[in-house]
């Protein structure tokens, strides 16, 4: 079976799970808030762990919800947890309104991610060349970024107009934003949040890509295949499988 057929079968499963989830909505507000809060902490923990943050899941919860300072952990690690939690609130609010996703949206997500960490660059495209350690992909030169970002939003609109499956559009948003690498720092977190903003807007649940060494390697390998070899299928499959896992988990928490 080729990869595209595999992805098509997985997307059907996605749609079946989404239909099951939709049939349970609206969920009781109290139950929903508890589940959503717990999942948001897990997402913050994993997304930051991918980038090298050493806070544990429990420590992340204490920092975000209790305002606790963890001894031996840097100020930056505390801010990364707090900022990411705020950025999740932002994408949830954004998903429920009618504002179009634009470059401004991306810059606003990024500004939240680097708030208090890098004032000069928060919410601003980079003006210097960058290299990604451990990757063969060389991000575009800074003078190309404005045009690439403009094209990125146009291609996104085209995919929507062509009725491409929302989970594949979400994967594209992540994949392409990381490829362009428009920011000096925080590209990964911003890309994952943008992907999840689009998933939430389309009635799916947040995809939580894991930060374990094994999961991280699979994630980076799939992105590399897309950026170097122009084969986005492995990354698409990874995102669709992660969405299926997230929806199954959500349904199991609801006792389904």
Q: Which of 84, 165, 174, 181 is catalytic?
A: 181
3-state secondary structure of 144: helix
222 and 232 Cβ atoms separated by less than 8 Å: no
Give me the phi and psi of 53, to 5 degrees please.
-70, 135
| CB neighbourhood size of 150 (10 A) | 11
Q: Name every residue whose Cβ is closer than 8 Å to that of residue 222 and which is 6 or more positions away in sequence.
A: 234, 235, 237, 238
Give Cα 220 to chain centroid, integer Å. 14
| Cis? peptide before 9, omega within 30° of 0 | no
Spatial separation of the C-alpha atoms in residues 245 and 49, rounded to whole Å: 19
Q: What angle do CA 44, 45, 47 make, to 5 degrees?
A: 65
Asked about 227 being catalytic, the answer comes back as no
Residues labelled catalytic: 181
């Amino acid at each position: 079976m080729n990869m595209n057929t595999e992805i098509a079968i997985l997307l059907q499963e996605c749609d079946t799970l989404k239909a099951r989830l939709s049939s349970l909505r609206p969920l009781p507000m109290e139950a929903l808030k508890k589940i959503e809060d717990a999942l948001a902490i897990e997402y913050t923990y994993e997304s930051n762990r991918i980038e090298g943050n050493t806070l544990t899941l429990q420590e992340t919860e204490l920092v975000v919800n209790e305002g606790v300072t963890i001894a031996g952990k840097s100020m930056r690690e505390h801010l990364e947890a707090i900022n990411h939690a705020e950025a999740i609130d932002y994408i949830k609010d954004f998903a429920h309104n009618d504002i179009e996703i634009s470059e401004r949206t991306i810059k606003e997500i990024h500004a939240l991610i680097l708030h208090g960490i890098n004032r000069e660059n928060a919410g601003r495209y980079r003006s210097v060349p960058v290299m990604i350690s451990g990757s063969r992909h060389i991000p575009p030169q800074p003078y190309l970024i404005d045009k690439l970002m403009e094209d990125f939003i146009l291609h996104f609109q085209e995919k929507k107009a062509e009725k491409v499956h929302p989970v594949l559009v979400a994967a594209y948003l992540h994949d392409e934003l990381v490829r362009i690498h428009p920011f000096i720092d925080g590209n990964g977190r911003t890309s994952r949040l943008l992907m999840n903003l689009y998933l939430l807007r389309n009635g799916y649940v947040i995809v939580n890509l894991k930060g374990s060494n094994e999961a991280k390697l699979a994630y980076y390998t799939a992105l590399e295949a897309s950026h170097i070899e122009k084969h986005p299928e492995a990354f698409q499959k990874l995102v669709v499988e992660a969405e299926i896992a997230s929806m199954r988990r959500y349904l199991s928490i609801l006792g389904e």
